Amino acid sequence: MSERHGHHHAHGEHGHEGHAGHHGHAGHEPDLDWREMAEALETEAELYADGVRLMLGWLDEVLNTTGGGSPERVLDVGSGPGINTTLLAEAFPEAQVVAVDGSPELLERAAHHAERLGLADRISTRRAELPQDAAGLGRAGLVWSSRVVHHVGDQQQALKALAGAVEDGGALAVVEGGLSARYLPRDIGFGRPGLATRLEALREEWFTRMRDGLPGLVSVVEHWPALLAEAGLRPVGSRTFLTEIRDPLPAAVRRHVHGQLTRSRERLAEELESDDLATLDRLLDEDSPEGVLHRPDLFLLTANTVHAAVRDPS
Ligand SMILES: C[S@@+](CC[C@H](N)C(=O)[O-])C[C@H]1O[C@@H](n2cnc3c(N)ncnc32)[C@H](O)[C@@H]1O
């Protein structure tokens, strides 16, 4: 199911996985890497905010039709720096919203962000690790978890833990999957056409290696509605929101794409053919008019999917 509007985010997702949250740091300068990753997550969430607003509008309808009504309490599990948390607070004005994450640093950013927007009285933060700490979170009329479950070795167990926090008449919404982001035309005037597809294939392998490294890994068919049903809820649908940003392209999009391609280059340097590496280097050249920071044909196009399920009142 696809709705052609909205700006939502990141299955670029795969682009950001490595940040590894609180699980570790990627390079030689952990603090710098950490800050960069937090800022990249923030920028990404901001670029996709319109799409998230549309997702939340749909969830509002879902809650109205299933009798849940406007939630008084919302959990944003795996909130990261809390951009979505503030969107949840705006979409559900009667709710107290809790940003939950395993990373205290990101929660600190979430608290600052809430304060900046004057939402500090409605947003709190809570450190917790999924799945083991979920039982202590209490119940909520809406449990939202965007791009988090795939960080957990046993995804079914993670969904069961999230489902356990859904009150009667409430909903669980999980953002997973969608389509990888595209930034450039097929032929960019140099290099071999089709770079995006080759990068995507290598990123899928990288993603599998990332998951293989997670503790307690369990393979499941990633059929989200079925996994939500197995977690004891009633699936009510999946919706996909397209993000398309073109002319005039904000500088933030250029920096975001530059960051995504830089991460791909770092992670995939061993696997990429040398001609593709050379193409990436030209695209990443900050001074060149051919680079993504300056070229006129750059855009951001991606799609993200939210899967929802409800707990029918007993
Ligand atoms: C890709 S980010 C998504 C951030 C935000 N929800 C969004 O969609 O923009 C994943 C977040 O989940 C958190 N996380 C990953 N594994 C977790 C776990 N097992 N328990 C709690 N938080 C976790 C990370 O710290 C990170 O903030």
Q: Measured from the CA of 131, which atom of ligand 1 is nearest?
A: 19
Q: Measured from the CA of 17, which atom of ligand 1 is nearest?
A: 1
Give the per-residue pLDDT at 245: 96
Secondary structure element (H or E) that encloses residue 76, with its range: strand 73-77
- Cα–Cα distances (Å) from 111 to 42, 128, 131, 236, 314, in that order, read 13, 15, 23, 32, 36
Q: How far apart (Å, rounded) are the C-alpha atoms in residues 62 and 264?
A: 37
Give the per-residue pLDDT at 32: 61
What strands, in cross-sheet order, belong to the sheet with 166-182? 2-3, 234-245, 300-310, 166-182, 140-146, 73-77, 96-101, 123-127
Secondary structure element (H or E) that encloses residue 284, with its range: helix 274-284
- The two three-digit tokens of residue 213, written as one number: 């490294």
Ligand 1 centroid–CA 190 distance in Å is: 37
Give the per-residue pLDDT at 34: 76
Which residues, in sequence order, are CB contacts of 265 under 8 Å at separation 6+? 272, 277, 280, 281, 284
Q: Which of 148, 217, 304, 307 to mutate to test the pocket of ligand 1 (most atoms within 8 A of CB)?
A: 148
- Contact between 236 and 308 under an 8 Å Cβ cutoff? The reply is yes
152 touches ligand 1 (CB under 6 Å)? yes
Give the per-residue pLDDT at 304: 97
- The two three-digit tokens of residue 172, written as one number: 């669980």
- How many other C-beta atoms can be found within 10 angstroms of the C-beta atom of residue 291? 18
- Contact between 304 and 243 under an 8 Å Cβ cutoff? The reply is yes
pLDDT, averaged per 10 consecutive residues of the chain (314 residues), comes to 34 38 44 79 93 97 91 98 98 98 96 98 98 97 98 98 97 97 97 97 96 97 98 98 94 96 95 97 98 97 98 90
Ligand 1 centroid–CA 80 distance in Å is: 5
Query: Which segments of 201-281 are extended strands (E)?
Result: 234-245
Give the per-residue pLDDT at 31: 65
Give the per-residue pLDDT at 22: 43
Q: Measured from the CA of 151, which atom of ligand 1 is nearest?
A: 16
End-to-end CA distance of the chain: 30
- Contact between 105 and 38 under an 8 Å Cβ cutoff? The reply is yes
Q: Which domains does the chain have, with CATH numbers?
A: 2-310 (3.40.50.150)
Q: Measured from the CA of 80, which atom of ligand 1 is nearest?
A: 27
